[in-house]
Chains A and B, each alone.
Chain A
């Protein structure tokens, strides 16, 4: 079945044509709108190589509405002439005719009529010639018949000035036979249907080709948050390495567990109002393990366990002050204290990833809350070499293999080392974490055996994520100002695979 009568006729005429045919001529021959022929050309083109169509643009003269009228009824001046009888006509009456005003002046300049201003009842118009030849009408009829080229340039421009003609650009197709030309083509099917499958009719049909350059329809799906995807990967890494997850579901912590238990002195700048969020309500911890508190107090103020101590007056009130934990090391301290109460000592590997809070100045890379990743190993005889070995394995899983270690100071680890990795993009060493052996002044008051060492390291979750996804402003990643499009578009988190950053470019 042909694709509509026009397409059918086009194919039939094309079969008979020598070489090809013009779409506009065909429209004129068929007596249809040119647009109908264009539609037929396009639908035939979609079938593949049945026809070939070349777009051409041609200029053509067309009559305006007024021009059409004059081609039919005669020019205004001719009509004025015809309306003047032999005995003449009052000028005022003539002016009332539809063609009166324009036709009068034209007929006057053609000298077809004259005015007798001395007539008794006002000016009167008389014919000056017997008959006229309406040249304007003839020319317009020529244009109407598609023979505008028979007019001289001057004649056409005169008609155009009278707004009777306009020149239009016509886009036409030069249609010729394609490689697969046939007059009996069937319509292509858009899609395979259940009917076609059951009837087997698909075997006799042809199908419209797909546009493989187009994008597919995005699936109607939910998305995981990129930072939390990275969190899942870090959990996975720790679990692969045999680390047990510590409970960290307590944002509120006492100064005791957050600082004192870690042998961080009460005058330490981190305990300042400027750095830490303290609580107004509940302002103080209700219970502390008092035996242990006494040992901590003694270690701070007098020393012990081989330590000189800090030699200051340690205050219980200061330790009771509640705060929003400034690190998850407070949770590690609780976990190690619980471990110390279990006899005999069993080695342990712990990790946690959770939120911590700092009352700091905010900028593009610092928020008041962020996630801390922490790993802890407690066993007999652990040393710095072990710490570095564990760090090497851990960072290898993150795809970071070039590491070096810098001496550093942390209040609760000694020895301490900052971990640097070589950043290929920045072409320099960047700090990726902090680590050390917990101080004996922290471990021994808990009740851990003297020959047990505890190695620990920490890093933020946000920093590696921002580097991984190429995010410069942390607010785009964390918090309510997140760009949801970024969440929608973010790729899988594969820490050990270098993924090119398409997401950012697209956004």
Chain B
């Protein structure tokens, strides 16, 4: 969930009234926002870098507000204020207009070469805009928020904003060999080739995260003006030449990307948010984009879509009984201008370009419910009549664990993920013999594989509890995972029961006694006939020679028990003899 940080006093000024922290928190809650933190720049720096560094930093009160991940229109002060003012019916939602310039329309030509690296581009112009320091900061911050969220860290879309008065159209969006791209990037003093820049930015804490997007491509995307001035090399960096300042009057905005839909949404959001400060409020100057297929379109789209929803559907889905007129009013408060039409039960809703999150009637239903107030909805119990059933494997597990505890063993709860070493090396096995599933992106060795046996977890539990009085008697009934090509995903869980006895003596008879008890509980008689169980001498690398037996029940091998090999005990940082039992309980279902 993105967090937007706004200056409290600036926010209240824009809202036209002040709130106590509690009142504002309440308003946020109702609207689906969360007032996450009340802080200041000084407090943030002091928390992260200490009091000394914080000296002289601003102590203007900041509100950090959590915004739902699909509400790109609330990612800046301007959007938040507009949303809340409309919600509180203090203003009407503005209508955003795309206008043609008096002179010639700006053009952006997209060449074929971009197809293999970053094929889409859209653009727009904010004409005669008036920035202040706060507005300018918000403009930059919104781009950063969009980059981090809908733009997926610039992978899907990257935004470039330029001082149009320093440039001369038409513009060309193309892709070139990195060695053929040379320009002075933002905030650098001299020109560099793209190859050099990629090296320089490897140590840049901010930009290094975006290099991978184009690094391995033969051609890098780049935008030029008609004089060959580089506007930007998306998605990495803008040129220094066209950089905007607080004094910039006319802003050229380009969005390039691999997702056309998202590029259009991002452009719409930026221009709808900041056209507020244009001489002609809420108007945006169009830019013509010519695609390699010889088709051209004008942007921003700023499309208003009309949806029709029946009032009774909203009432039915929310569980309320409001008149269509009231529902239309509720939706209008959510920035969705609505009116009742047709037979008096139809509501026509206008979806503005700021509400790209509205893609289905269910999204409209939610907004009606929010405006109505979730906590005003009458609760009711569904009349759904059902008979409950337990999942048989879990039912058996629940019964068994209670009786194993009653037999004097204590239940452990260990991790399903572990290191290769835990399930292989430490047990004297080769990893290839385990049939374990392997994780491709573990951050540490603790998450290399899913466990194929419960034993390592129990031995690690003992190792962490060596100060406890002996004997330690532990058990766990839980799932292990092995590769299995008969399953749709190629892997299968098995429910295992594992128990260990750790004391000054190995206590094989104790673990054997537990097996006998478990078989008694499962109603499996001793002996090889009539579906009974036996244990037969066996061996395994984890066990002390001559002290290992295999468990056969109903003719199937279900597991092993025995005294652990001293090497295994030592590898798990234990010092006492230990015996263990591990069986698959699924055959007893």
Residues of A whose CB lies within 8 Å of any CB of B are: 220-225, 227-228, 232, 235, 238-239, 241-254, 267, 269, 273, 277-288, 303, 305-312, 322, 324, 347-349, 355, 357, 359, 367-369, 377, 379, 381-386, 388-390, 392-393, 404-409, 414-417, 437, 439-441, 453, 455, 477-485, 487-488
Contact = CB atoms under 8 A, between A and B. Distances in A.
Given A245-B390, A286-B485, A225 B413 contact: yes
Interface in B367-404: 369-370, 374-375, 377-391, 393-394, 398, 401-402, 404
B537 interface: no
Nearest to A283: B440
Contact of A383 (B317, B405, B440, B460): B317
A238 B439 CA distance: 33
A488 B410 contact: yes
A278 B485 contact: no
B386 A267 contact: no
B299 to A, nearest CB: 16
Contacts, number: 292
Contacts of A478: 413, 415
Contact of B417 (A282, A310, A368): A368
11 contacts: A251-B481, A252-B481, A279-B437, A347-B384, A349-B386, A379-B384, A381-B316, A382-B384, A389-B381, A440-B362, A478-B413
A281 B438 contact: yes
B320 A285 contact: no
A424 B71 CA distance: 33
A224 B439 CA distance: 31
B291 interface: no
Nearest to A429: B29
Nearest to B409: A222
Given A244-B386, A357-B417, A485 B468 contact: yes
A102 B128 CA distance: 120
Most chain A CB within a 10 A radius of its CB, from B464, B491, B495? B491
Contacts of B393: 247, 249
B410 A487 contact: yes
A405 B376 CA distance: 10
A487 to B, nearest CB: 6
Given A250-B493, A484-B461, 18 more contacts: A222-B409, A225-B412, A243-B386, A277-B439, A279-B440, A282-B491, A286-B487, A287-B488, A324-B417, A324-B439, A368-B417, A369-B416, A383-B319, A407-B366, A409-B70, A414-B365, A415-B366, A480-B460
Given A254-B489, A453-B317, A480 B461 contact: yes
Interface residues of B, number: 100
Interface in B455-470: 457-458, 460-461, 463-465, 468
B386 A324 contact: no
B121 to A, nearest CB: 17
B352 to A, nearest CB: 14
A282 B489 contact: yes
B66 to A, nearest CB: 10
A252 B384 contact: no
Contact of A225 (B262, B411, B446, B483): B411
A309 B259 CA distance: 14
Interface in B435-451: 437-443, 446-447, 450
B306 interface: no
Interface in B512-558: none
B275 to A, nearest CB: 24
A393 B69 CA distance: 30
B490 A285 contact: yes
Contacts of A252: 437, 450, 481, 489-491, 493
B504 interface: no
Contacts of B415: 367-369, 478-480
A483 B366 contact: no
A409 B475 CA distance: 41
B417 A385 contact: no
A455 B362 CA distance: 13
B402 A280 contact: no
A407 B370 contact: yes
B479 interface: yes
A469 to B, nearest CB: 14
A386 B485 CA distance: 42
B406 A278 contact: no
B359 interface: yes
Contact of A377 (B363, B382, B390): B382
B587 interface: no
Contact of A222 (B1, B29, B473): B473
Contacts of B384: 347-349, 377, 379, 382
Given A388-B377, A440-B360, A251 B319 contact: no
B492 A242 contact: no
A96 B499 CA distance: 79
Given A238-B388, A286-B490, A386-B319, A278 B439 contact: yes
